[in-house]
Structure 1
Amino acid sequence: MTGGALGLAVRLSPKQERSIAESNARLNIWQGAIRSGKTIASLIRWLAFVANAPRGGSLVIVGKTADTISRNVFDPLMDPAITGPLAARISYTRGAPTATILGRKVEIISCADARAETRLRGMTCAGAYVDEITLLERAFWDMLLSRLSVPGAMLFGSTNPDSPSHWLKRDFLDRAGELDLRSWHFRLDDNHALDAAYVTALKKEYTGLWYKRFVLGAWVMAEGAIFDMWDEDRMVVSELPLMEKWLAVGVDYGTANPFDAVLIGVSVPDDAGQRRIYVTNEWRWDSRQQRRQLTDAEYSLRLADWLDDIPETFGPGTRGVRPDWLIVDPSAASFVMQLHKDGFRPQQGDNSVLDGIRTVSNVMAADHLRVHASCRALLDEIVGYAWDDKKAERGEDAPIKEHDHSVDALRYALHTTQAVWLRLLEPVPAY
């Protein structure tokens, strides 16, 4: 079964075509590196299945959230550059509970938590497509499999690799010989349609755990230092350039634990035309050391005083800064309210821990981050920030939750404002 035979616009690699042709098991899983072609192959196979799916049961598409389903599944399915004339036969509105694919009604189920399992109860399924399987709760997955009871029912899905102890690998992929299951492993280099410069850039940007999983497509355990690409000799600076944009203050809120704020700017281009992200200043209040807890109002006042007193923000002799964004620990609802009362415009930070760690790691790996030597708490935490070995053994990727307040503040700020600074870090062309 080839792209041409299906009337598709996209050109498939031999590995993609082979996986589409051979995916006739009850469970069919494409797994491996990002941008490796696995998702496109799995979606094309899903289209072929829907066209001839058994009657008498529901078809379902499952993903972590409505947004990820729309972005990862329907954006490519409805793109004529990928699915050709078939795109016109796919109808879906973001957030809607159903879609129409090749004349068949398809149920859309997001499963942000285990309670989503109740949406499957009582359903009889003829087929399912699952986006990012490893992000599903095990209870939901088990319920979904039990619903695939129509004769000829099949499941198709894709996923990036996770810990080798993850239930999907341990109980399904590693037991493929015992189950009616087929899987295909993709590496980044398997996608021949990608621009060579883009592939080279990705390989440089990902290091350590992320390189093994997202470039090689390996199921490896999170272990050791999280920021293993950190280079203190290169990334710690004693002098700061002028800032083109004061980007953000990131705040990790604490009462008994330390309260930490970091100020982040984007520098003017250097001689090579490259801007960088600079952590220029840090303010911390450790109530245990100070033997006094501050109120929300006191934190807000001291944060303002700290920003007002920062010297040389726009050149020699100038003081004070108000960055474009004030990104606050999303658990600090009362502090956010106080900031609003005091004239700030705070925004709750994106606390997707692994995604945030990956964002910070990529900035470091691309050599786009600098930290001023005065930010001692952050510098001490970066080198000690490590994966939790006990949680890794249970298949969970998580950092050790201690001595991480400055790192969390940095993570909130960079991950939440990523759409802003990414375009700024593109090299300035020389004329």
Structure 2
Amino acid sequence: MPSKGLSKKQIASIAQSELKKIALWVGAVSGGKTIASLFAFLIAVRRARGTGLIVIVGKTLQTIERNIIEPLQSVELFGSLAAQTTHTKGSNTAIILGREVHLVGANDTRSEEKIRGATIELAYVDEATLLPVGFWEMLLTRLRVEGARLLATTNPGSFNHWLRIQYMLDAEAKNMVVFHFTMDDNPSLTPEYVRDMKASFAGVFYDRFILGKWTNAEGAIFDMWDPAKHQIEWASLPPMWKLLAVGIDYGTTNPTSAILVGIALNVDDLGKPHPKLYAIDEWRYESTTEKQKLTDMELSRRLREWLAEDHLPPHQPRLQPDYVILDPSAASFRVQLRQDGLISTQADNDVLDGIRTVASLLTSEHLLVTEKCTGFLKEVTEYRWDSKASEKGDDKPLKENDHSCDSLRYAIRTTETIWRQHVKLAA
């Protein structure tokens, strides 16, 4: 049981979730919806009759482990029940209350093949809005035994998202119950935590993750950008703890951008640690501006020459980035770099999560950018949501003014497990 117990709303949702085949907990981050849904899931596991599989579905196995398995194993949250969830990291099964539970990643439309033909008695879905609609529909067809149930959680998405339009607005006909949560519904949150969370989001992400609204993404993506808050003179950079990575967005006719990101373990005026990320320097080549299209070999040579330069002010020690993180679609350039002795890591290209992470860093002023990142400074105010995609329920940026924004996103998103040990943001 959580340290302050469950709220009346959480307890009511657990009881009422048994009244319908589908139960959905939706709302703001840290609203208590996940804990309530997991208690409901544990009760359902205990009551399962063994007539079908028990599955937990999430975007990836890693998100299932982080969002579901780790909380279930928390003594603070679940007391003695925590010992009843066992799992080997990387395995696609877990044992919960003595029952085998299958862990299914569903990050694209082909994922529905993982459950095709299965008979499922109990399913739990983490972050339902991130699932392809085809997977959700296939999952429902697999709930084909008497008493089969689906429990799901999500933060709100686009106003026109399929989950809202096709299911939530027609919940009664879909044999579905929906529970809406805000931060005020979670009795375990401190005022300081709520304040920090509210300071971590802006724009569409604030509407969804703090206010719990279903709202379309529109206008500027980084509408929180303020040069007075986010831009720093290169010469005044604090001492870097390490250079995390250089993120590279590769183009042939489009620009190629490489942005170097570092982390400094700053302390504030009161002596408290206040680590921040810094976009330190950028190399960018635009064939349309230079009137010359470079081969991969020539791009590699120029990039490596730039990497070999000093990127920090003269008073700081010479450092090189720990990782070179490359656009996952740049297969030919990856080969060329390897032939030239430069090993690259494939970027995490989860666009929406990457944008949200960068936006949170900017909103909380945990990310600063120097004047040397000229491409990013040119793009940041022009990087916009695709309004036509929003009308269809999708969140996508326009493929314009995005090259330097992408290279920064690659570097930050792919090294997140490293810098999050020091920089604390909303999960």
Query: TM-score with structure 2 length normalisation?
Result: 0.90
Q: Distance in 2 between matches of 1:298 and 1:104?
A: 57
Report 1:220-259 matches (<5 A): 220-242=215-237, 243-244=239-240, 245-259=242-256
State the identity as a percent: 45
Q: Distance in 2 between matches of 1:99 and 1:269?
A: 41
Q: Distance in 2 between matches of 1:305 and 1:116?
A: 42
The answer to whether the Cα contact below 8 Å between 1:10 and 1:82 also exists between their aligned partners in 2 is: no
Answer with 365-374 or 201-210: which moved more: 365-374
The answer to whether the Cα contact below 8 Å between 2:158 and 2:215 also exists between their aligned partners in 1 is: yes
For 1:283, the equivalent position in structure 2 comes to: 283
Q: Displacement, 1:9?
A: 7.5
Q: Displacement, 1:270?
A: 6.6
For 1:356, the equivalent position in structure 2 comes to: 354
Output the amino acid matched with 1:15: K
For 2:374, the equivalent position in structure 1 comes to: 376
Q: Distance in 2 between matches of 1:386 and 1:286?
A: 21
Q: Displacement, 1:422?
A: 3.8
Q: Secondary structure at the match of 1:23?
A: helix
For 1:266, the equivalent position in structure 2 comes to: 263
Cα root mean square deviation, aligned: 2.5
For 2:62, the equivalent position in structure 1 comes to: 67
Q: Distance in 2 between matches of 1:341 and 1:120?
A: 41
Residues 282 and 103 of structure 1: CA distance in aligned 2, closer, same or farther (over 3 Å)? closer
Q: Secondary structure at the match of 1:34?
A: coil
For 2:399, the equivalent position in structure 1 comes to: 401
The answer to whether the Cα contact below 8 Å between 1:32 and 1:218 also exists between their aligned partners in 2 is: yes
Residues 59 and 325 of structure 1: CA distance in aligned 2, closer, same or farther (over 3 Å)? closer
For 1:160, the equivalent position in structure 2 comes to: 155
Q: Distance in 2 between matches of 1:142 and 1:263?
A: 42
For 1:113, the equivalent position in structure 2 comes to: 108
The answer to whether the Cα contact below 8 Å between 1:267 and 1:276 also exists between their aligned partners in 2 is: yes
Q: Distance in 1 between matches of 2:264 and 2:84?
A: 48
Unmatched segments (≥5 aa) in structure 1:
427-431
Match of 2:120 among 116, 121, 125: 125
Q: Distance in 2 between matches of 1:42 and 1:297?
A: 53
Q: Secondary structure at the match of 1:269?
A: coil
Larger Rg: 1
Q: Distance in 2 between matches of 1:81 and 1:301?
A: 53
Residues 105 and 230 of structure 1: CA distance in aligned 2, closer, same or farther (over 3 Å)? same
The answer to whether the Cα contact below 8 Å between 2:249 and 2:256 also exists between their aligned partners in 1 is: yes
Q: Secondary structure at the match of 2:24?
A: strand
Q: Secondary structure at the match of 2:179?
A: strand
1:148 aligns with 2:143: yes
The answer to whether the Cα contact below 8 Å between 2:234 and 2:313 also exists between their aligned partners in 1 is: no
Match of 2:389 among 391, 394, 417: 391
Output the amino acid matched with 2:260: L
Residues 192 and 55 of structure 1: CA distance in aligned 2, closer, same or farther (over 3 Å)? same
Answer with 356-365 or 268-277: which moved more: 268-277
Q: Distance in 2 between matches of 1:85 and 1:277?
A: 39
Q: Distance in 1 between matches of 2:114 and 2:419?
A: 39
Q: Secondary structure at the match of 1:108?
A: strand
Residues 64 and 312 of structure 1: CA distance in aligned 2, closer, same or farther (over 3 Å)? closer
Q: Secondary structure at the match of 1:383?
A: coil
Residues 183 and 302 of structure 1: CA distance in aligned 2, closer, same or farther (over 3 Å)? same
For 2:15, the equivalent position in structure 1 comes to: 21
Query: TM-score with structure 1 length normalisation?
Result: 0.89
Residues 145 and 291 of structure 1: CA distance in aligned 2, closer, same or farther (over 3 Å)? same
- Report the number of matched residues: 418
Q: Distance in 1 between matches of 2:100 and 2:94?
A: 6
